[in-house]
Structure 1
């Protein structure tokens, strides 16, 4: 047994220890330590240091370690050919472990490092889908224990595993970066195929082809890898629009899969060949390969058969073969019922969102509607709504409710159409709240990923720096004879360290920019998905008023114009900007609707200067409507005499246009004073949403829109809203 002496080297101020002891729960702190050979002072890397609570680290190239502990914890230090040491933590002093008669064995140490590296990567894989931050930490540890020489293979495996983790969590850019770094460290077929797959996922098809092309000549690939190679090359060709070449690659992969009985790939490739033929409008060939994929899937697994069945149904839908589509989807519904039986022990399908009972019922209804078979579509829409409500699938519930309202309208049942549409509006509000929660969760996850990536970059820099110092320690005896060489090496090391720091700063900056862009896009998507519930409910109440007065013609006309406006709003809801001409058309339709309700309250006029090229300017959709609504509802509506709403569009300068909205209503201050108590309690979201949208878009597009609101008259009556819209 080798003897180990534990020394306390550094004593921090006693007040820190007294403060920790005063707490009811012991305070956690970071303990610094080092393990070295007593006789020579040489550091011992790769030593395991753990606590009785489960925290675990390994010493780096300088024999140093940092571990989180509390007063009273037991520290365990152990390694191959070393007597295990147990030490009780009494304070936050640094710990030095000196080992007597210890010989550094490079082969044994290398074997030990390789085993630990394998274990850490296994742990990273185990936590990949459960805790991304913990999974990345395991990869970071696997990198920190590696030396600089002869371990490029292990480093590449760590980077490749990191790429797989990011790919699993849809962080495609980070996955690509780490796969590329892994290939730079050590080229392997597996990593090349993984990188090609994420290239295809991000539509970088040419880069995928360039990466895969040299692999075609390799003779050492196993059959599964060869099939995957042809499949990925086919995907890249199809992505570039070279469909016939894609089919040839798929067929080459299919031959190898058939020869080696690789069943999953047989199904995938038959299905992809069918989709490619369908894209080329070769229906007979597509159906033949879809038949093959269906037969293989049914012989493989029920879930896989269900997926393939839905692919074929989608194919029938694209070709307007609705009766065949309906039969296939009804068959899918039967298969789902079988899979959900207690006998099979499956409580819920582990499938994509598109393969659920509520979605299939919704698609069947759409197929009936496409044939104007409304009575047959209604039961499937109702069933879809009920099942979506049970499964908390708000998206399907919203779409099915809206479609049901449209069906009732087509049938002339306007009462049910109105009731159903009101349910749809309520679902839109609920879905908006859900989207906000999802955005919040996505932001939190992205922050965790960014923090983990930053720690990883820091650990990698620390590992490189530690290895540099360790190399200096091992060559200490040669420094006197090679003073000049040592100085040169130190200079190069410092330059290399500086380059690493600059590179790390660049990647950190790029990650922050990507994060900011992602957050902006998510926020815009959420804000664009909102409609003004106040306007929708008022419009529906107007329809209800027309109906109650037996004015069916007015109700029908109003609902038709309202539907036209809503369709236009929804069509533009995914766009950051739309042509100014389209926004003005949409605005005029909205004012016309409001004027039909308040004919005795105001007249309106929209004047567009002939010099304004309205098709050359872009504007955020539904930007002007909330201000028009405020002018009518809070200004003109309270006038004792008939008012005027005036909208003008004029050239501001060569690169901008001015849009002015004026009304001679009662003014902002008087409008606020006559609000009811209920109105004061309700906080309007319209202006807040507009301000957020404009702020985000100006941040992304360099101050494209500016808005100024002022009183029209000196006595506070009337309101003027001025928009300045830049061309670029």
Structure 2
């Protein structure tokens, strides 16, 4: 039945009521339990098993009273959906009780709605699709016709990918309901080719399974698990995997996936799925021979089904009764089938005629027949006869020739077994008559089914041909403008010539740019070579000074100290040589190198100075790079020319401070004698060596800044007014 919706917010006081609710999705001081109800507008009767969901959050379903409760916050979007009506979206504005009223929509109202929306193409497309879904389970031909109208209603040359996706997904739904799974697969694929949606992919996987394409279905289900699914969709996918593995008799995998689905359904309180999955778990365990486990799950499904609607409870009783029959527990089977018989009579939606209704196990004739079979299996022939006679009467009244045939034959066999051969012969004669009637009816049904399939295929071809017709119309449209295009051809040629000239000019500019780039690359290569040359000059200078230190220890006959110093020195040399071929190393490595060097100098001059190295913990030392051995000469000058000549013990401080995420400041300060006094104390040879070392550093920094746009900025100043103490500040940039 098609429904239109109007949502009204009512303030009510709830007296105690049972709800089907979802799991708490968050712990927030702003969250609250939203309560509501879904009812039909005309009769005010509640609607159960409606899906209630918070977008990206909690999930619930309505109970038998149509009521629900769900954890929400102000501003959340409430999604109310069911197969029987169009999905409703409602933004939560307050904590008031929400009532969703459903208005009956007749076929005439649908037609009026179509007429009212003729000037709104998008609304018209949507209305036709809604009409198609309304007739989906009633009239397949009419439902497909509405899809055709929906696509024809789209203005312009072609429908949008979204519209095509919706149309073909709906067409696949029609095929699935009427058992045409091969067509359903084709249409779901076309829907996905226009726009990929999770719902269409889940339906396609299910159609693969029903069409015995098990491996394709299993692969698609597994791929879906990697997608961003809602909790309900995850349950559907795991359930589909369980169904597929059960179909190929892989019962272990089937149980595993059913259990995952059941855990999710219980966690999020998706009540209908909990019932179905308990039932399916029972079926799998029954097939595997685990009778005790099967009975445990079937007991759960029976109890849960009783809390849903009557039809669901009756369906589950019939299924469990079949389980007891397979395990020859005929007393329990008969008890359940008698209960089923009594409840069938009270079902509001129970059909009394028609092929679809008679094929269902929930008919009086089938239940009576199965009860009789249970008695026959126990050789209680007298008890079986009344049920067989009831089955025959009900089958005859409902024109169910299949059950009438089976029951009549069984009755003949029962009379034969108890020795009443006259009644056995009479029943057998009736059985032969029913077989003849059934044969004729089956031929008619086969003919009708063939015509039905042909009609469906023809109507679907009309939808497929719509795109071809649109392409033909587009071709006609192009032909109408051919003359105009011929007139404009000369203009296009002129434009082409002008474009060619512009292209030639661009090529010349490009050539000039390439030459300019080559010059810059050559200059860059020269700079790299100069840096490498300066870097190679640094290493001998550094090694020479270090070896002098070793020599002083040896000269003083301090062999043990010399050995320890040599050990640390070799570790430093290894690091220096490893980095000697690198243009840049990480700031972390430079700090490690510096720490090792200062340690060695302090080892030699420990009575001359103390030192601290402070690294800001916020600095990402692995993200900044620096030329190797850039900082060491400044530290060496501070020790050898500032602190070494100081009479009292001095201090060396090295700090790494983060200015921002792209810049680091490096401060090397000492309270030594200062640059002026140091120069006065130096010999001519020392002045020459110092000038060469510092000049080397200045050249390296100049080349770096030219290549990398002021990557390093260095300033050297006196700390104290008497020109003692030296402060070296380096600004290092990340890029």
| TM-score, normalisation: structure 2 | 0.48
Structure number with greater Rg is: 2
| TM-score, normalisation: structure 1 | 0.48
